[in-house]
Structure 1
C-alpha cells in the first residue's frame, strides 16, 4: 500500500483513514518531560511503521499523549493501540526507570483505557445528506 497525499493506494482499495488516539498514564501520574516525549514519539513512529501506518502528528503533556495516525484498512485499531502502548511502555520504563519508578505506577505505564476517534473527511451529517440524495434505480 503506497501513500499518495491523503490517499493510500493498494491493489484493490483506495483509502484515507485517520484516527486520533489519546493515551493517559496510569493513575494520571505526571511522568513526562520533553526528553521522554521525544523518545515516546520515536517509539510510536517505529511501531506505526511496522503496521504500514504513518504517525502524522504527536504531542503530549505531563500525563498524556495525542497521536494522529494515517493507517491502512487492514489494520485493526485495537491491535495498533495494543502494540503502541505495549512497546512504548516497555522501552520508556526501561530507559527512564528513575522517573517512572518515582511516579509509583505499580508496574504499569499506561492506563488500560484510551480514546480512539475517527477523523478526516466530511462530517457525518454531510455524508448522510449525500447518501440520501443518491438516485436509487426503480
Structure 2
C-alpha cells in the first residue's frame, strides 16, 4: 500500500536494529514489551507507523513506515533518546539481571548498528 501526498506517491520503510551494548544477551519478553511501548510513543508523535517489531536476546528489530517530510536521522535520534532516558534504571536493572549477577552494563544500553532503507 502506497501513501499519497500532494503530487506524490511514496512508500518509505526503514529497518532499524537496536543492540544491547557488547551484544550481551539481556532482552527477555518483559523488556521487549516495555521497549515496544517506549518506541511507539515517538513514532506516533512523528506520524509514523510501526509495521513490525520483534527481537532476540541481544537485539531488537523495528520496521517503520515514515513520511518523506520527516528526517530519518532525527527520528532515529529521538528513538535512541527515548530508549536511553525512559526507565533507564529499571530497564538496566532488568537487563543486568537477565545477563548475570556479576556482570553489569555501564553507560548507554542500546545503540543503533544498522539502518537499511
Q: TM-score range by the shorter chain?
A: 0.7 to 0.9
Contact kept? 2:92, 2:105, Cα under 8 Å: no
Are residues 1:95 and 2:94 paired?
no
How well do the aligned residues superpose, as a CA RMSD in angstroms? 1.8
Provide the TM-score with structure 2 as the length reference. 0.83
Contact kept? 2:53, 2:60, Cα under 8 Å: yes
Structure with more relative contact order (C-alpha pairs < 8 Å, separation 6 or more): 2
The aligned length equals 112
Structure 1 stretches of 5 or more lacking a match?
1-5, 119-138
Contact kept? 1:40, 1:92, Cα under 8 Å: no
Measured in 1, the distance between the counterparts of 2:84 and 2:95 equals 10
Identify the residue that residue 115 of structure 2 maps to in structure 1. 116
Provide the TM-score with structure 1 as the length reference. 0.72
CA displacement at 1:106 relative to structure 2: 1.3
Structure 2 stretches of 5 or more lacking a match?
98-102
